[in-house]
């Protein structure tokens, strides 16, 4: 079945297509999730200059004071960039597929953007950095105790060193993966994107949603869904970017 040429549609969407394509390429080559996991993998291979993942609030405060960039990476600060790029990708894909199945694309886009906003509210990287600086500058035990209590509250919401995270982290990931899966199914039923793009997206987001099954029954294998999903996600973004660039 021949693919639809997006250039034949509303030319007003071309800027959005271009932004979506750029965002997809940046998500492939520059900003990725799990950079913290990659740092820990390098440490396990013998790169001693990379500090260990902190397991306590005191460890996080010490790391953020001694090496704030590494601390922010381990607190998944670059996920904020990746999710922002994903928002542009979702909007561009929604515009491209709007005429195919409007109700499904509306649900998918609302879920995706909602999940992104939830993640922005749940990521505590910059808040932890600010608290660590205030804790270091505190001159009384009362002030330090206040900052410690605030830090423990933040870690309860998002602690990369813990297996179980706060509700916001789980909800945001679920909504984003569900949005990607719905969009991929719509791609499969349309002539806008290739069948390969659709199937790759289904695999990427389907494997990602397997995270919740593994979390419930096999928590020791928690990284497996992301390992399986990652190569398909990279290919999916690239195929989306190629199609959107062809619309220019």
Strand, helix or coil for residue 19: helix
pLDDT digits (tens, 9 = 90+) for 22-38: 999 998 876 555 555 55
Cβ 181 vs Cβ 202: under 8 Å: yes
CA 141 from chain center: how many Å? Answer: 38
d(CA 103, CA 232) in angstroms, rounded, equals: 26
Task: Provide the whole-model pTM.
Answer: 0.86
Query: Quick one: pLDDT at residue 40?
Result: 54
- Parse the chain into domains and list their residue ranges: 6-246
d(CA 106, CA 121) in angstroms, rounded, equals: 23
Structure tokens at 183: 């969009």
pLDDT digits (tens, 9 = 90+) for 59-95: 999 999 988 988 888 888 888 999 999 999 999 999 9
Burial classification of residue 159, based on how many CB atoms lie within 10 Å of its CB (0-12 exposed, 13-18 middle, 19 or more buried): buried
């Amino acid at each position: 079945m021949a693919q639809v040429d997006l250039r034949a549609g509303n030319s007003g969407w071309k800027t959005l297509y271009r932004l979506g394509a750029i965002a997809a390429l940046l998500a492939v080559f520059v900003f990725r999730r799990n950079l913290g996991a990659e740092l820990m993998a390098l440490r396990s291979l013998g790169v001693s200059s990379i500090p260990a993942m902190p397991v306590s609030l005191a460890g996080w405060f010490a790391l953020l004071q001694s090496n704030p960039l590494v601390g922010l990476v381990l607190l998944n600060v670059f996920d904020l960039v990746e999710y922002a790029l994903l928002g542009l990708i979702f909007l561009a894909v929604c515009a491209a597929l709007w005429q195919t199945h409007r109700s499904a694309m509306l649900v998918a886009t609302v879920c995706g953007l909602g999940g992104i906003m939830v993640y922005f509210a749940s990521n505590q990287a910059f808040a932890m950095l600010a608290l660590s600086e205030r804790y270091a500058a505190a001159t009384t035990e009362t002030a330090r105790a206040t900052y410690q209590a605030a830090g423990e509250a933040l870690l309860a919401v998002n602690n990369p060193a813990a297996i179980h995270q706060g509700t916001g982290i789980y909800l945001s990931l679920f909504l984003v993966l569900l949005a990607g899966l719905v969009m991929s199914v719509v791609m499969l039923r349309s002539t806008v994107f290739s069948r390969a793009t659709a199937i790759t997206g289904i695999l990427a987001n389907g494997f990602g949603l397997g995270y919740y099954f593994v979390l419930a029954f096999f928590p020791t294998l928690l990284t497996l869904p992301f390992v399986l999903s990652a190569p398909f996600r990279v290919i999916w973004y690239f195929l989306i970017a190629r199609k959107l660039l062809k619309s220019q």
